[in-house]
A and B are shown apart, each in its own frame.
Chain A
Amino acid sequence: MTLAPSRPTDLPVSDADPFSHEVLDDPLPMHEELREAGPVVHLSRYDVYALARYEQVHAALVDWQQFQSAAGVGLSNFRTEKPWRPPSLLLEADPPRHDAPRRVLSKVLGPRALRSLREAWVADAEVLVDEVLADGPELDVVPRLAEAFPLRVFPDAVGLPAEGRENLLPYGDHAFNAFGPANDLVAKGEHRVAELSGWVGSVCARDVLAPEGFGADIWAAADRGDITPAMAPLVVRSLLTAGVDTTVHGISAVLSGFATHPDQWQRLRQDPGLARVAFDEAVRWESPVQTFFRTATTDVQIGGTVVPEGHKVLMFLAAANRDPRRWTDPDRFDLGRDPSGHVGFGMGLHQCVGQHVARLEAEAVLTALARRVRSIELAGPTRRHHNNTLRAWASLPVRLTIS
């Protein structure tokens, strides 16, 4: 690590590339390096200010006044660069424009609204687990459970047409890659952008969505005047961008946690009520969403450093979630821990609006598995899926032993 002479001497500088394949395959060493270097570290490769400690990441997440989202929550600065798609009304917006869409979606996806889905999703998870177990004890849980369950329940809950649902994962994957630099991961998705965006745009229309579901609820809010009719399709689009890949990787994360921590699986079997805690612990431990950017709206002092107005700040949610200053034995996946307060869903007014949906999906899968499966163990080499923002598995072969 070197110090650049033009910067304050207390600002550590790193030439690490968080979006290189080497780091994406195992980001933990770089997270530790950045965390230990200081409260803020200049990433010389991208000229951004990195926050990797819990205290600073949390503070930046809640401080929407000094760290805006409307200039983009990726590396690209919307003040000077054209976004690849019309900006999100939620993720890439600040108050006051953020208020109405957020208020509407918070209600549509709120814990009270989800109560009506609970029973059906729990039953659906049991059916899926039965189907999977009927095919034998060895399987790759990424496609068979982590992808299969969200794709089984979420598009129906939104009210999407059956045709084209296979576009959801590649669309989300590209959207999350696009928060990073224009590297090979972005390039590999570009040839399908027009096609995928076209499909996503087409299913956000009122007459394409089912008469009941999250999509219809959003359009009903437009009828009430809580949002404008022009906002409705973009609010529906937020569900489709952020609602599938994230939960898939969250479910993969919790399954990988159990496959590598057999004692924790026994703990869940003894007390299936721990399913919700297990999922949040996995979101802390693995942080399916690794990073988001903000843009300083003024010169902001962090530690002994000033982040200049208009500059990008890169918040390492994943590093904060394993900061030993905040967590005891942070690398351990531990159901005995209280994971409350982790920043895997963000924090503050942009905190994941779909977190209750994700929790319900994961709880349904884990509860169904805990009922029938005595042990989960890895049954072959695992493989990571690389994405500029997401921490994901491409393959997790396991052996399930039926109780």
Chain B
Amino acid sequence: MLTAEPFQQTGRTGVDRTVVRVTEKVRVADGVVTLTLTAPDGGRLPDWAPGAHVDLTLDNGLTRQYSLCGDRWDAHTYRVGVLLEPASRGGSRHVHELLEPGHTVGLGGPRNNFPLVPAESYLFVAGGIGITPILPMIAQAELLGADWRLLYGGRQRSSMAFLDELAVHGDRVQVRPQDEHGLLDLAGFLGTPRPGTRIYSCGPGPLLAAMEAACAGWPARTLHTERFVAAEQGAPVRTTAFDVELTRSGRTVTVTPDVSVLEALGTAGVEVLSSCRQGTCGTCETTVLAGVPDHRDSLLDDAERAAGDCMYPCVSRSCSDRLVLDL
């Protein structure tokens, strides 16, 4: 419906593009739930591609990264899968025990550090919850008519999510729970090195180390890996106001939690050119002279984020009390 979403991505009416609502929570395996997320106004969510993740900021102030594992042809919902970490310090336990449909969570991204590059054939190796980014990759490989196979390991069958969804692919998918089969036979699955194949693997550290070793004889850049974020880390995302100091105009603008930096600047009469207002186009790029930005865009990679020398004020905020911008 084209008329259902008037101006919602470009209007200046304060529609918050950085919050999503949980509309469904489903237990899909032992210790794994999926969350369905939608925009509070029901509008489109930012576009993404297989391998992308979002940052979700929970009520308790923790930020966690989750791979998107839904259908990108559905522009209105995201799906993420969350494993209950036995040693959880509040992230996955919060999701499993406290987060319920109707609740909202903060959204950053999507960002993609694990993009699916074009290839004639793909070999996918997933360990446990590392299956989540692989699911949309499989859908994509199917769409492209590429040859593909999946090796999927886990502790036991009951803890392995999405087996029902994978069953339709028949013998392209090998499900190998450790209690039935022992350690994954990576060498047997990968076979002889051949050009034109790309290998994608996501899972716990030991699996990825074993993959590095198993792929040593393959052409360079064949193996692509992503370590799912098992270690929980607190992200310093503020829930309080901060000040933005503008060096060129000599002004200071306070940004309250309910508005974006861009909106706060606009209200103060400092117009910054922007376009998408989703942190995807890069139009509003602003040089950061001091302070620590809380990057919530889809553009900067990890190294660029760490450099901390620019930010996209349409979505990104501040970790520090004060940000100094070249405006």
Contacts and interface: CB of A to CB of B under 8 A. Distances in A.
A301 B1 contact: yes
Contact of B282 (A58, A99, A111, A342): A111
A351 B3 CA distance: 21
A55 B304 CA distance: 35
A338 B271 contact: yes
Given A300-B2, A302-B2, A340-B275, A225 B44 contact: no
Given A55-B7, A338-B266, A339-B273, A231 B118 contact: yes
A296 to B, nearest CB: 11
A302 B4 CA distance: 9
Interface in B260-294: 266, 271, 273-277, 281-283, 285
Contacts of A345: 275
Contact of B118 (A56, A62, A228, A341): A228
B276 A227 contact: no
Interface in A168-207: none
A356 interface: yes
Contacts of A276: 273
A277 B299 contact: no
Nearest to B271: A338
A348 B273 contact: no
Given A97-B144, A100-B115, A302-B2, A277 B9 contact: no
**B interface: dominant SS:** loop
Interface residues of A, number: 47
A241 B299 CA distance: 25
Nearest to A54: B7
A54 B143 CA distance: 33
Interface string A1-16: 0000000000000000
Nearest to B44: A62
Contacts of A351: 275-276, 281
Interface string B34-76: 0000000000100101100000000000000000000011010
Given A59-B5, A63-B75, A225 B117 contact: yes
Given A303-B2, A341-B10, A96 B115 contact: no
Given A273-B248, A340-B273, A340-B275, A226 B144 contact: no
Contacts of A63: 2, 44, 75
A58 B117 contact: no
Nearest to A226: B117
A96 B140 contact: yes
A58 B7 contact: yes
Interface residues of B, number: 42
Contact of A56 (B3, B49, B277): B3
Contacts of B3: 39, 55-56, 59, 302-303
B20 interface: no
Contacts of B10: 58, 340-341, 347
Nearest to B47: A349
Contacts of B275: 340-342, 345, 347, 351, 355
A103 B115 contact: yes
B273 A277 contact: yes
A110 B198 CA distance: 27
Contact of B143 (A56, A96, A110, A339): A96
A85 interface: no
A57 B285 CA distance: 25
A55 to B, nearest CB: 5
Contacts of B115: 99-100, 103, 226
Contacts of B198: 225
- Central interface residue in B3, B44, B75, B277, by most chain A CB within 10 Å: B3
A338 B267 CA distance: 12
A224 interface: yes
Contacts of B49: 95-96, 99, 103
Interface string A46-89: 00000000111011101111000000000000000000000000
Contacts of B285: 111-112
A280 interface: yes
A112 B303 CA distance: 13
Given A59-B5, A341-B277, A355-B281, A227 B299 contact: no
Nearest to A228: B118
Contacts of A56: 2-3
A321 to B, nearest CB: 12
Interface string B80-121: 000000000000000000000000000000001001111100
Contacts of A356: 282-283
Contacts of B283: 340, 355-356
A340 B262 CA distance: 11
B310 interface: yes
B250 interface: no
B7 A65 contact: no
Contacts of A62: 9, 44
Q: 5 nearest interchain CB pairs?
A: A341-B10, A59-B2, A340-B274, A302-B2, A111-B285
13 contacts: A55-B6, A64-B47, A96-B140, A99-B49, A103-B112, A111-B310, A225-B117, A277-B273, A280-B273, A345-B275, A347-B10, A348-B47, A355-B281
Given A111-B285, A340-B271, 16 more contacts: A54-B7, A56-B2, A58-B10, A59-B2, A59-B3, A63-B44, A63-B75, A99-B49, A110-B282, A228-B118, A277-B271, A300-B2, A340-B275, A340-B283, A351-B281, A356-B282
